[in-house]
Amino acid sequence: MKKKDLRNQMTPPKFLAIGFASITLIGTFLLKLPIATADGTSTPLVDALFTAVSAISVTGLTVVDTGTHWSIFGQIVMLMLVQLGGLGFMTSATWIALMFNRRISLRERMILQEAMGQYQIQGIVDLIRRVLVYTLIIEGAGALLLTLRFSAIMPLSEAAYFGIFQSISIFNNAGFDLFGQVHGPFSGFATYVADPFVNIVVMFLIFLGGIGFIVIFDLIEYPKCKKLSLHSKVVLTVTSLLVVIGAVMIFILEHSNPKTLGPLSYPVKIMASIFQSITPRSGGVSTLDIASLEQSSQFFMILLMFIGAAPGSTGGGIKVTTFAVLIGAVVTMIQGKRDVVLYRNRISQALVYRSITLTILSLLLLVGASMFLSVTESGEFLRILFEAVSAFGTAGLSMGLTTELSGVGKVTIAMLMFLGRLGPLTLAYALSRKNNKELYRHPEGRITIG
């Protein structure tokens, strides 16, 4: 097959899938090197692969302790993978090309359009430039604020390293933390459960990383134009509702739990509830022991992780806009209307079909993976389901099963993380053949449902 024919068949979804897979393999190779570990030994292949996938998919699930197992080199490799995975390797490649004044081709612009979830190609390069600027500003501010707080318990140089690592990791919704077993029982941020400063900084980093750059740009421009796009209105509305509902539910369910909110004062209980409501949106860090939560709270967090963050963000899940369209479709059907309407805007039928397809594919994937893991792994089904949804939603939260996974279980969870970051619909498009226009329509048939 000629090179030109191969290029023609390399659609944007295929290019993104191959690109993410290639970077994952490079990351696996680097993490397997003896220099990547603190004790100078080579990490087992499946553990290196799992960590590379977790980093490039900005999930945060770990089979080894990030702070003690990996050397500075290994941690920097992970951080680079997190940055590439969170913003997209095509975005990073475009930054480098722009630095050298290289022209961005039409094909590359189309790939960027797919990667950023945009409907039009116009202005995509300018969007990438703004992404770079705002990323540096947000991550820099987060690093500075966390460094100031961490310097109270460790030397300034170590605090600066921790601040930079945590800021990049949290903003990209990866959830890796360097504290681990060194400074905390299950998560370093449990130490700061009653610290408003750290809680607010971390929650803002998760929130900004989860709403997406399009919404951030709209919010910045709002004082001038006094108008938000439909996308931004939906994202902000659904995100706010889920955070409020989640915080109230967790507060009610965990209020008397002696292992979580029980011993805390009321102001800290409220703050911890809000934190646990925000972090399932793909944050991956927690100030409470997830394994000690009530089963009702754990299941509710599964629902939040499945919904996930916003399109074009560093988070995973089916996305809040998909959830909004599904709810809109249900309300439309109940009311006996024809069109799904959000904020006085009619949603196209194609978009409704896409939302339904994405949700069903995601559910089928999770059902199949959870059933398979229930055979290969030991433990309660809720624990297995939580881990599977956390991997698919790239949330990074864990009930402790990850470190106990078998080799087959690690590969299965790694596949879920990869598919969750890439998106099952994107993968389906990547594997499908070129669509041919239908030349005819079949006669309409009727079946009874409900």
Which of the four pLDDT bands, split at 50, 70 and 90, describes residue 412?
very high
pTM over 0.85: yes
pLDDT for 218 equals 87
57 vs 167: CA distance, rounded Å: 17
Residue pair 398/61 in contact by the 8 Å Cβ criterion: yes
Residue pair 173/206 in contact by the 8 Å Cβ criterion: yes
Residue 184 sits at φ, ψ, to 5 deg, of: -160, 160
171 vs 282: CA distance, rounded Å: 10
354 vs 345: CA distance, rounded Å: 17
149 vs 368: CA distance, rounded Å: 44
pLDDT for 420 equals 85
Span 174-203, mean pLDDT? 76
- Which is higher by pLDDT, 101 or 36? 36
Q: Amino acid identity of 87?
A: L
Residue pair 203/278 in contact by the 8 Å Cβ criterion: yes
pLDDT, tens digit (0-9, with 9 covering 90-100), for 201-260:
999 999 998 888 888 888 888 888 878 889 999 999 999 999 999 999 999 999 999 999
Nearest residue to 138 (alpha-carbon basis) of 77, 179, 182, 83: 83
pLDDT for 227 equals 85
Secondary structure, 3-state, the chain? CCHHHHHHHCCHHHHHHHHHHHHHHHHHHHHHCHHHECCCCCCCHHHHHHHHHHHHCCCCCCCCCHHHHECHHHHHHHHHHHHHHHHCHHHHHHHHHHHCCCCCCHHHHHHHHHHHCCCCCCCHHHHHHHHHHHHHHHHHHHHHHHHHHHCCCCCHHHHHHHHHHHHHHHHCCCCCCCCHHHHCCCCHHHHHCCCHHHHHHHHHHHHHHHHCHHHHHHHHHHHHHCCCCHHHHHHHHHHHHHHHHHHHHHHHHHCCCCCCCCCCCHHHHHHHHHHHHHHHHCCCCCCCCHHHCCHHHHHHHHHHHHHCCCCCCCCCCCCHHHHHHHHHHHHHHHHCCCCEEECCEEECHHHHHHHHHHHHHHHHHHHHHHHHHHHHCCCCHHHHHHHHHHHHCCCCCCCCCHHHCCHHHHHHHHHHHHHHHHCHHHHHHHHCCCCCCCCCCCCCCCCCCC
pLDDT, tens digit (0-9, with 9 covering 90-100), for 254-309:
999 999 999 999 999 999 999 999 999 778 888 898 989 999 999 999 999 999 98
- Which is higher by pLDDT, 429 or 45? 45
Rg (CA), the chain: 22
First to last CA, the chain: 50
pLDDT for 108 equals 60
